[in-house]
Structure 1
Amino acid sequence: MPSTSSTPPWNVHRLPRADGSVFLVTGGNAGIGYFVAEQLSETGATVVIGSRNPARAEVATASIRARVPGARVRAVRLDLADLSSLATVVESLGVERLDAVVHNAGVALDDPPRRETADGHELMFGTNHLGHFALTRWLMPLLAAAPAARVVTMGSFAAKSERLDLDDLQSRNDYRPKRTYGRSKLAQMYFGVELDRCLRAAGSTVASVVVHPGGALDSLTPSRPPVHVRTTGARLGAAPAALLVQGKHAGAWPAVRAVLDPAVLGGQLWEPRVFGLRGEPRREPVWNHLTDTAVAARLWEASCDLTGADLGTIL
């Protein structure tokens, strides 16, 4: 007899309902984060877009409402580059629990000079990693109040070939923008893996999952005017690249699955199916360098010192 299962195969175009759930997507006003928010809105959940730019967030929420009838989507101001502002986020959310947060927001700089956050941290490391590290500390009571909440960290394929310099986390001695970006995303992924280890040790109901979007290009991304407009020329010019990479709507799929799929477990890594660059999401063994607990512990300690956010006291 053929085997039967109560859980149907995962379908990125037919997401399960999540009515009553509340999800926060950082940087949900543009890029991959926008499509994470749009797709999660299709499930009936309340989706909150965290953005440092209220005007852009309002444009994104209007776009989602226009495409998803009855969408429960709204925005809160969230500036990950200003650590002192993060304590107010919980109050501005106005909810009693949070079922998932997608740590998606990020800064990517292509050229020097080196820039810093309001707190004096290198901008990419300070925003992409330290901002999300501190935000998690403030969100943890809301996450713990949910039955089985998830922290989903959006890493990057660029982090696979990088290694952290624990003596120069801020790239003060040797600043190369692309490498600094890759290392900031690697730090995020280390944090996501280490967070789950700490949550399990504490007996928490919260799980932490790491994902990455593969290769996600604007030119392969469907238009969502005025959030994103793809010209015919860009679409035609990018056609050959579609053999290897994908659009940002597809780059959102691993994060969306990590939020919704009960088969996804804490401590796992999910990525696009084809060479980690394109296709539907699948589980991938955690990269070898991400399993280095000594590096993870040193990064965690440094992150506590740099942010003043001691996560260990509230897990």
Structure 2
Amino acid sequence: MSSVPSAPPWDVRRLPRAEGRTVLVTGGNAGIGYFIAEQLATTGAAVVLGSRDPAKAAAALAVLRARVPGARVRALRLDLADLASLRTAAASLGPRLDAVVHNAGVALDHPPRRETADGHELMFGTNHLGHFALTRWLLPLLAAAPAGRVVTMGSFAAKTERLDLADLQSRHDYRPKRSYGRSKLAQMHAGLELDRRLRAAGSTVASVVVHPGGALDSRTPARPPVHVRTAGGWLRGLPAAVVLQGKDAGAWPAVRAVLDPAVAGGQLWGPRVLGLRGAPRREPVWHHLADAAVADRLWAASRELTGVDPGTVLG
């Protein structure tokens, strides 16, 4: 009798090679985005760091090249709060893109409510609407790859939130932390809805949603000047380290979603231990995220607010 050998267990520190593939990481100059870029660079993939700040992008590239000799990395000027600029930014990527990680985000802790240049609440406008519009311009490039992937970085903060479809922009009741959680929830809804539409269109592109669990600066390896860790910060973070992790580990679910052929569209991936820390694993789609009716209404609202529709280029 013959048997088909099973794939080896996924090892976050021994990633498969990915030469010839190109991946865009939005917000790749800092935080989890930087570590996604660093880990992907070790595979031989060409990594593009999307960043709205050229100086920070240059600093991240310097650190990354020092950490990964021979890394194939470059920066792309990308401002998700400026919807009109996204088409030009996407066009500069070339004819093909193997994957995009929608990671960039804004998190505000205190009032007042702020808006983008387009008049959208800053967190919803950047985290959700910016990525929604960018997807419209990236899909033709992703469809040109053998198995393009859209990986959306959600947040554990979205697990306890629900969208207010009548007040997506938090105009009537603005609470920064809640608005942040809802902006990430909107991203996750859109990522799953995108995959439903991709499947219906028979597309080769897949859309996967991930989240990093609890990722703390104090548990993150130093990468100065991108990330500077102090002894005091490390000590203050010790109690939380029992259940949380660093941003390097928070990158693992997104990296697996880009690289692992066993990861399929429409899935949700996060850390193994309580959804907060550990190696990446597939987890059940949260009950409220599975509401396709809410996702469809959000999609329609996003199309109206951005003036673009990723659905027009599916196939």
Same fold (TM over 0.5): yes
Q: TM-score range by the shorter chain?
A: over 0.9
Amino acid at match of 2:153: M
Amino acid at match of 2:67: R
What are the Cα deviations for residues 178-226 of structure 1, in whole angstroms up to 9, with x where unaligned? 0000000000000000000000000000000000000000000000011
Question: How far did 1:239 drift?
Answer: 1.9
Amino acid at match of 2:79: D
Q: Write out aligned runs for 1:122-271 (5 A).
A: 122-271=121-270
Q: Percent identity?
A: 79
Partner residue of 1:294? 293
CA contact (8 A) 2:268 2:285 kept: yes
Partner residue of 1:68? 68
Normalising to structure 1: TM-score of the pair?
0.98
Question: How far did 1:3 drift?
Answer: 7.2
Question: How far did 1:232 drift?
Answer: 1.5
Partner residue of 1:80? 80
Q: Any idea what SS the aligned residue of 1:74 has?
A: strand
What are the Cα deviations for residues 141-189 of structure 1, in whole angstroms up to 9, with x where unaligned? 1000000010000000000000000000000000000000000000000
Normalising to structure 2: TM-score of the pair?
0.98
Task: Tell me the distance in 2 between the aligned counterparts of 1:164 and 1:240.
Answer: 32
Q: Any idea what SS the aligned residue of 2:188 has?
A: helix
Which stretches of structure 1, 4 residues or longer, exceed 4 Å deviation after superposition?
1-4
Amino acid at match of 1:35: F
CA contact (8 A) 2:63 2:223 kept: yes
What are the Cα deviations for residues 46-90 of structure 1, in whole angstroms up to 9, with x where unaligned? 000000001100100111100001100000100000000001012
Q: Root-mean-square deviation (CA), in Å? A: 1.2
Task: Tell me the distance in 1 between the aligned counterparts of 2:297 and 2:60.
Answer: 38
Q: Any idea what SS the aligned residue of 2:55 has?
A: helix
Partner residue of 1:16? 16
Q: Any idea what SS the aligned residue of 1:109 has?
A: coil
Rate the CA distance shift 1:2–1:212 in 2: closer, same or farther, 3 A.
farther
CA contact (8 A) 2:90 2:134 kept: no
Size of the alignment, in residue pairs? 314
Q: Any idea what SS the aligned residue of 1:266 has?
A: coil
What are the Cα deviations for residues 212-268 of structure 1, in whole angstroms up to 9, with x where unaligned? 000000000000011001011211221221111000000000000000001100000
Question: How far did 1:312 drift?
Answer: 1.6
Q: Higher mean Cα deviation, 110-119 or 238-247?
A: 238-247
